Amino acid sequence: MDLLKDDVKRLYLKYFLPTVGAALVTSIYILFDTIFIGQGIGGDGLAALNIVLPIYSLVFGVGYLIGVGGSTVLGIERGRGHNKKAIDIFSLSIYMAVIISILFFIIGKFFMDDIAIMLGATNITRELIREYMDIVAFGFIPFTIGSTLQGFVRVDKNPKRAMIATIIGGMLNIVLDYVFVFPLNMGMFGAGLATVLSYTISTIILLTHFISKNNTLKLTYKCFKSSYIMRIINNGIPSFFIEMSTGIIIYLFNFQLLKFIGETGVTAYSIISNTAIIFISISNGISQTIQPIVSINVGAKKYSRAMELRKIAFYVAIVFGLISAICGFLFPEQIIKIFVTPTDEVNQIAIIAIRIYFIAFITMGANIVLGGYFQAIEMSKIAIFISLLRGLVIVGVMIFILPIILGVNGIWLSVPLTEVITFGIALCVSKKTLKII
């Protein structure tokens, strides 16, 4: 592939399925933990898992911060012809990921009880959380390193390897989840063990790229410059906020639902949050598909090609969002039954919640694409602004104000309204900044 000369639409198609597949890594692991925990352990297990999901968002968010931030800078520098600087950026990113992953493991292993209480664990869910996270803490190392590697494998023209890692790891996770939770009756610990083993295999597969004949990246030790660190962080923060916004929203929802409904509400919401993680992962994939191609073309000052890629991703995200919202409106009962055998109370809450919440998907993907584009061209301040609006500022206000006016339905409506407001603002900013949509 020649990222500077090949037809833009063909390049997008070559990157699309592998990148979306790789972006699904996080959601696949959490999804099948949720399904098997819901079917094998029940509603309390689902509630416990939902309480610790923000931890996943933090760990993977940091991995994406380093991986997407570093690979964006690498792509731009390669487009400018600065290969030595690109290698330095790659090396520094890997060292950052390794150090931070070890810190995550230490904190997760020795302070998980305190973290669980802070996130809203109750007497019922605390033991289940401890059982699950006791093994998942070991996974923080491959989680962080693996999510970092994805961006570099893609920008080094090997998106298929990232997809292969996803498929093998995902299939292994399904098999191990079933075996550990049902025949071996290992409960929450078994679900966590399946996730850790499967993602470790995925990370190992990603690492094989760097010993392949097509690899152009290598580690160097003379790369520690504060200016490089700041470029990686500035360009990666939007990806971090996209991932963290999921965790923040889950935390706020859990807080409000425990207040208004109780643990049944958290169980119902766990179905929505896990479905939303899948949607967000696919939307991230749609956005990340253009990232390496856009960055290299912007570095080479081929701006019209970058603009065309942005249009393609924008409209793909809108179509995907519409289809997802329609599915949620028409088939809420089927979605619920995938995760749990529902009680009447859970069914009553979740059906209404899904139909309201899924409206958010219509514009959510487009917001992620617009933020991702600004990130890919190193306009990180605008990307951060869009990510903060949808992930913290607007939703943080809506989730506390709307329930006062509309009751529980106000909680479900907070995310759709947030995404619509962000969409309008993001379009205005895009038109003013780029003069094109």
pLDDT tens, residue by residue, 58-105: 998 999 899 989 998 998 888 888 888 989 999 999 999 999 999 999
Tell me, what's the pLDDT at 25? 67
Residue predicted with more confidence, 195 or 273: 195
Give the side-chain half-sphere CA count within 13 A for 33: 34
Tell me, what's the pLDDT at 436? 43
Measured distance CA(371)–CA(68) in Å, rounded: 13
Nearest to 166 by CA among 284, 62, 77, 53: 284
Tell me, what's the pLDDT at 427? 92
Give the side-chain half-sphere CA count within 13 A for 14: 16
The tokens for 90 are: 């790659």
Measured distance CA(408)–CA(18) in Å, rounded: 39
Which residues, other chains included, contact 105 with Cβ-Cβ below 8 Å and sequence gap of 6+?
137, 138, 140, 141
Tell me, what's the pLDDT at 387? 85
Tell me, what's the pLDDT at 435? 53
Task: Give, rounded to a whole angstrom, the gap between the first and last alpha carbons of the chain.
Answer: 27
pLDDT, tens only, 176-205? 999 999 999 998 999 999 999 999 999 999
The tokens for 10 are: 């063909």
- Average pLDDT, integer, range 367-375: 91
Per this entry, what is the length of the chain? 437
pLDDT, tens only, 27-55? 777 777 778 888 888 878 888 888 888 89
Name the phi and psi angles at 134, rounded to 5: -60, -35
Residue predicted with more confidence, 163 or 282: 282
- Average pLDDT, integer, range 152-172: 85
Residue predicted with more confidence, 243 or 348: 348
DSSP code of residue 111: S
Q: What is the mean pLDDT of the chain?
A: 88
Which residues, other chains included, contact 6 with Cβ-Cβ below 8 Å and sequence gap of 6+?
none
Tell me, what's the pLDDT at 221? 84
Confidence of residue 126 (pLDDT cuts 50, 70, 90): confident
pLDDT, tens only, 16-26? 888 787 777 66
Measured distance CA(201)–CA(207) in Å, rounded: 10
DSSP, residue by residue, 117-175:
HHTT--HHHHHHHHHHHHHHHHHHHHHHHHHHHHHHHHHTT-HHHHHHHHHHHHHHHHH
Which residues, other chains included, contact 232 with Cβ-Cβ below 8 Å and sequence gap of 6+?
65, 66, 69, 70, 73, 89, 92, 93, 96
Nearest to 147 by CA among 212, 203, 230: 203
Whether the CB-CB separation of 65 and 88 falls below 8 Å is answered with: no
Which residues, other chains included, contact 199 with Cβ-Cβ below 8 Å and sequence gap of 6+?
25, 29, 139, 142, 143, 146, 169, 173
Tell me, what's the pLDDT at 118? 87
Place of tokens 């309204």: 417
- Average pLDDT, integer, range 262-281: 83
Which residues, other chains included, contact 216 with Cβ-Cβ below 8 Å and sequence gap of 6+?
156
pLDDT at residue 342 above 50?
Answer: yes
Nearest to 232 by CA among 244, 243, 223: 223
Tell me, what's the pLDDT at 26? 63
Confidence of residue 432 (pLDDT cuts 50, 70, 90): confident
Helix (H) or strand (E) holding 217: none
| Dihedral sign of CA atoms 273, 144, 419, 260 in order | positive
Total-model pTM: 0.77
pLDDT at residue 434 above 80?
Answer: no
> Maximum CA pair distance of the chain?
62
Measured distance CA(263)–CA(47) in Å, rounded: 7
Whether the CB-CB separation of 129 and 116 falls below 8 Å is answered with: yes
pLDDT at residue 377 above 80?
Answer: yes
Tell me, what's the pLDDT at 103? 96
pLDDT, tens only, 166-179? 888 888 988 999 99
pLDDT, tens only, 219-271? 888 888 888 899 999 888 888 887 787 778 888 888 898 888 887 888 888 88
Nearest to 94 by CA among 70, 77, 76, 72: 70
